[in-house]
Amino acid sequence: MYARNLKLRRRESKYYKTIRLRFYAELNSFLPVDLRQRAFDYSFPGPITVKEVIESMKIPLSEVDLILVNGRAVDFNYPVNDLDYISVYPVFEQFDITEISKLRKTPLRVSKFILDSHLGKLAKYLRMAGFDTLYENNYSDNSIREIAAKQSRIILTRDRDLLSSRNVTHGYYIRNINPKEQMAEVVAKFELRTQINPFTRCLICNSELKAIDKQDVNSDVTEDTRKIFDEFYQCSHCHKIYWKGSHYERMMEFLKSVEL
């Protein structure tokens, strides 16, 4: 029906070609109100790439993570054809599109989280795996929602009411009670396996770890530890010192188990 209608329009304006466009999720905020959250026709007189189409709609290319033309992934240089149906997507929070997207070597997706007061152990596990994870046991529900919106974070919670607000766009209710099972659940739900980057975040405050010279290690580390280990890391915020001891080996074994 769509193709037939376009053919009728094409007879009326034989010098123009027409495609069907649909932008998803937060990309709609760049569009005029009457074009948001729906598919609409786009006409053009001559050769044009999908990149030029997107730019003409004032959509920043840096916000686009996947383009499908008639259900097939394409890159920005795709030459648009008459009657194409083009779907344009922003960052996928819940799916790893590494093997699908043709736009860049690494998708824009970087999973960041904020957790409610019931998930302290899960927060530690996520930080252990290298994920930017905010957690305070005194966050109010409104604070969690506001921070999540401002910083594009995914809310993880055991409280259904926290997710019921219309202001929550990215959130997930944790089903499991056991923290290790919760970690496995989150890794599976958000397809995080390819994003795991252990030993890069402080387990206490979530800040990034930086390599530190052995001679600069402070008195928090025992002399025996200095003698045994050569690589040390320090939190950029709270200055806690880390090294790859037996705790590191246990951490790596745990992360391997949740990746299954």
Q: What CATH number corresponds to the domain at position 174?
A: 3.40.50
Give the mean pLDDT of the chain. 88
* 78 and 170 belong to one structural domain: no
* 256 and 153 belong to one structural domain: yes
CB atoms near residue 98 (< 10 Å): 13
Mean pLDDT along residues 99-107: 78
* 130 and 256 belong to one structural domain: yes
Q: How far apart are CA 218 and CA 201, in angstroms?
A: 19
* 20 and 123 belong to one structural domain: no
Question: What pLDDT is stored for residue 13 in this prediction?
Answer: 54
* 188 and 226 belong to one structural domain: no
pLDDT band with cut points at 50, 70 and 90 for residue 14: low
* 77 and 181 belong to one structural domain: no
User: Checking DSSP bridges between strand 132-135 and strand 112-115, what pairing results, if any?
Assistant: parallel
Mean pLDDT along residues 58-77: 92
Laid out side by side, the sheet with 17-23 consists of 40-44, 17-23, 85-89, 66-69, 72-73
For residue 12, pLDDT beyond 70 = no
Q: Is residue 48 part of a domain?
A: yes
Question: What pLDDT is stored for residue 260 in this prediction?
Answer: 59
Q: Point out the least confidently predicted range of 92-106, 135-149, 235-249.
A: 92-106
Q: Which residues span the domain enclosing 11?
A: 2-89
Q: What H or E segment, with its residue span, contains residue 122?
A: helix 120-128
Q: Tell me the three state secondary structure of residue 40.
A: strand
Core vs surface per residue 201-215: b (16+ CB within 10 A) or e: bbbeebbebeebeee
Q: How far apart are CA 111 and CA 109, in angstroms?
A: 6
Q: Is residue 230 part of a domain?
A: yes
